[in-house]
Amino acid sequence: MKNIKIAYIGGGSKQWARVFMNDLALCSDLTGEIGLFDIDKEAAVRNQQIGNNINKQPETVSRWNYVVYDSLKEILCGADFVVISILPGTFEDMRVDVHYPEKYNIYQSVGDTAGPGGVSRALRTVPFYEEFAAAIEKYCPDAWVINFTNPMSICTKTLNDVFPSVKAFGCCHEVFHTQDFLCDILEEFTGIKAKRKEIYTEVAGINHFTWISSAKYKDIEIFDFMDDYIAKHFEEGHYEHGPADSYKTDTFAYANRVKMDMYKRYGVLGAAGDRHLAEFMNNKWYLASPSQVDSWKFALTTVDFRIKQMNERIEESKKLASGEIRPEVKKSDEEAVELMRSVLGLTTTISNVNLPNRGQISWLPEGSIVETNAVFSNDRVVPVTTKPLPVAVQSLVRRCSDNIDILYEGIKKRDKKIIFESFVNQPLCSSLTLDEARSLFDEMYEKNLRFFQKNN
């Protein structure tokens, strides 16, 4: 068993931390320490207690030493892996991101990546990442850093810009769900029940707006069925994890109608949930109003809902920590542990990942953060080359990638003028007048000012 130290920044996480702890508990060749650091120390302590309870379960294969730390310095010293999954600010701050734009008829299904919400959230997040990157360079320059926080691209960009030789990559499971969707199509046309890892998808784009141009099960091209599939299912839609109308009750569900609509137009498949994809396009296309959203069969996730869900999770956490509920130790569909095993040289994985462009996407600038497949193995993550997407899709992606680069430049320089240019160039802001854009931006900027001025 390989002995490692994992530093988990944002280790008070109410959801993802537990998934990760479970997967590690079931990993037969890794053990060691899981350090937890969180501004909300109480939450970290709860996760420590839950971890200790997981250690006691019979299904547990690997028992870990859970340690709560008070400083970045302490948690990072000696770390082999740094896992970062934070909520930048609070859900009240997120209310700014998601709901302020509604005054201007900009509805956001997620509000954490692109659009005015993505810009607003980045103002809070990047300053934290500047701090993380500097600390990693100082205390554990050789550690692998795995980012899960959104906005993914700009977090990954910050790590690489502040500490250019950082060994960092950003992981996101949205592509996985699209692979599940493809499995459903395969089954419908061939009867074959494949697992998503059996589907090889060509992936190219940026996080939450990456595209699949080919999907093969063995040597069967699933895209060959796509036109027929969409002709049949476009109206009612299809959801890979439940009935097509799940979105009516599950705020995270969607019916893939946005994805199918885009496929009909472009011939390639957006590889993220519809809730994300829609936020990268003109706001009149899919997000003009709650009723339009409903007609495309997905939902707007409110911050009130998130707060309610958080509170339920805190309650559940307390029970898990106290032992009132027994933790269920089972393997998730997430890949983080597999990727860690891979860079440790224990296996080889090919999966999608966010990395600085060094040629994997020829039509995006060097250094922009892109999401493509990469080979994870033996202390390295090597992105594969990709074929060009249709120019119409390149154009959509390039604009959003430029917006991230402009935004990062603006935040790095603490230059409001440059940040505004990213804001007003967001497709979701495409029907604002300049005056409206300015008013909305000023208000959102003001609300994030205390984070944004940090480290400056």
| Sites of contact with a copy of itself (CB under 8 A) | 200, 202, 214, 216-221, 261, 265-266, 282, 284-285, 288, 292, 343-346, 348, 350, 358-360, 362-363, 365, 373-375, 377-380, 382-387, 390-392, 394-396, 398-399, 402-403, 405-406, 409, 417-418, 420-422, 425, 427, 430-434, 436
Between CA 373 and CA 383 the distance in angstroms is: 6
- Shortest CB 89 distance to a copy of itself, Å: 26
- Residue 384 or residue 449: which is nearer to a copy of itself going by CB? 384
412 phi and psi, to 5 degrees?
A: -55, -45
CA 8-252-238 angle, to 5 degrees, is: 130
Dist CA 130 CA 324 (whole Å): 39
Alpha-carbon distance of 36 to 299, in angstroms, equals 34
Between helices 336-343 and 16-25, what is the axis angle to 10°?
A: 50
* DSSP result, 294-330: HHTTB-PPPHHHHHHHHHHHHHHHHHHHHTSS-----
CB 149 within 8 A of CB 155: yes
Give the shortest CB-270-to-a copy of itself separation in angstroms.
Answer: 14
CA separation for the pair 107, 288 (Å, rounded): 7
Write b or e for each residue in 316-348: b if 16 or more Cβ atoms lie within 10 A of its Cβ, otherwise e.
bbeebbeeeeebebeeeebbbbbbbbbbbeeee
Active site residue 233: no
Q: Measured from the CB atom, is 41 or 414 closer to a copy of itself?
A: 414
Contact (CB, 8 A) for 270 and 262? yes
C-alpha span between 52 and 441 (Å, rounded):
45
Structure tokens at 384: 């594969």
d(CA 284, CA 288): 5
Minimum CB distance to a copy of itself smaller for 44 or for 182: 182
CB of 363 to a copy of itself, least distance (A): 8
Q: How far is the CB of 405 from a copy of itself (least distance, A)?
A: 6
> What are the start-end ranges of the H helices in 142-233?
152-162, 174-190, 226-233
Q: Report the residue number, 4 or 171, with the smaller CB distance to a copy of itself.
A: 4
Q: Which is nearer to a copy of itself, 93 or 405 (CB)?
A: 405
Q: Quick one: which of 238, 219, 204 has its CA closest to 357?
A: 204
d(CA 261, CA 119): 26
Q: How far is the CB of 341 from a copy of itself (least distance, A)?
A: 10
Q: Which residues pair with 352 in a beta bridge?
A: 373
Shorter beta-carbon distance to a copy of itself: residue 122 or 432: 432
CA dihedral sign, ordered 150, 153, 156, 158: negative
Q: Which of 93, 261 has the CB closer to a copy of itself?
A: 261
Distances (CA, A) of 246 to 239, 253, 306, 355: 8, 6, 18, 33
- Quote the least distance from Cβ 285 to a copy of itself, whole Å: 5
Burial of 387 (C-beta count, 10 Å sphere; 0-12/13-18/19+): exposed
- Which CB, 109 or 251, lies closer to a copy of itself? 109
- Least distance in angstroms from the C-beta of 264 to a copy of itself: 9
How near is the Cβ of 156 to a copy of itself at its closest, in Å? 16
- Which of 99, 173, 177, 241 is flagged as catalytic? 173
Give catalytic residue positions. Answer: 173
